[in-house]
Amino acid sequence: MPETGKTRVVLPERIQRGDVIRVQVVMQHPMDTGFFRDANANIIPAWFISEVRVRYGDAEVARFEWTSGISKDPMVAFQLKADREGLLTVDSRDSRGSAFSGQAEIKFATT
Amino acid sequence: MADEVTTPRRTFLQACGLIGVAVAAEGLTGASRELAAAVRVSRPGPDDPPIPNEIVQRIFDERFQGRPITRGHVTLDMPAMAEDGRYVPVIIESDLPMTAEQHVKSVFLIVDHNPDPLVTAFHLSPLVGPVAIQTRIKMKRTSVIRAIVETSGGELWADYLKVETTLNGCG
């Protein structure tokens, strides 16, 4: 799965200063629980994203503790107060120690 | 002659009957609409579901240290019947303020009968807008779901739902 860890951060098309915006994060990850078996009856080992950190510019605005109880190819959406322009970065780490990252730019509409 | 009188009378009565049925039907749908709204407001989950096992008890001890948890200020939205336990949509909302002085610090989602009941915890700063978190989780079997919110002042608010599922999403 070459795309494992791919992180997309989706923002509204048009943002104005002070808006409360919906931020949607979509990741690619198997989120294996370690309880399922493959076709040859071998246990598929647990492998899941355990920590997600959201940074807005330099400030950390949210941190998520995850387990394998989050569905495969995780999706999470939340609201954010867009009070300044800057990068919104989503960093995550999985149970094998791999790190992933995705970002989107918060830029205010000029008109 | 008699025929001419009865026919319009019957037509009249039939017309009245139809109108009556139409009014009754309208009244009925109106009532059922109100009923559905009432059901949606008063969530079907129990008010203070008992702790089902030691794993959940340990989570409560670690995270809440026996502090009281009150139902309110949190709305947990999930399907009453989740067809696929691998993908169960969840929406957690709260009307609690998100200001520098007072904000929702953490949101915990506990599925009583999952192997790992504390499915996720979201830790938030005041820059996060009013709490409206949406995600998808796995469920092993029919279970009580708890959405518990901790404020910066240490208060705990919650909402509970019972969600049924047939397809095991955890293994």
- Please provide the DSSP assignment of B45-104 as one string: S-SSPPP-SHHHHHHHHHHHTT--EEE-SEEEE--SEEEETT-EEEEEEE-S--SSSS-E
Residue A110, beta-bridge partner list: none
Would you state the pLDDT for residue B18?
Answer: 52
**Element (H or E) spanning B122, and its range?**
strand B118-124
Tens of pLDDT along A9-46? 999 999 999 999 999 999 999 999 999 988 999 999 99
Task: Return the residue of B nearest to A79 by Cα.
Answer: B129
- Please provide the DSSP assignment of chain A as one string: -TTTT-EEEE--S---TT-EEEEEEEE----B-S--B-TTS-B---B-EEEEEEEETTEEEEEEEE-TTBPSS-EEEEEEE--S-EEEEEEEEETTS-EEEEEEEE-----
Residues from chain B contacting residue A35 (CB–CB below 8 Å) = 115, 170-171
d(CA A32, CA B15): 65
CB-based contact B47:B72 (threshold 8 Å): no
Task: Return the residue of A nearest to B113 by Cα.
Answer: A69
- What is the mean pLDDT of the segment spanning B96-113? 95
The interface predicted TM-score of the complex, written ipTM, equals 0.93
Mutate which: B125, B139, B145, vs A, most A CBs within 10 A: B125
Task: Determine the straight-line distance between the first and last CA of chain B, rounded to whole angstroms.
Answer: 81
What is the pTM assigned to this prediction? Answer: 0.82
- What is the mean pLDDT of the segment spanning A50-65? 96
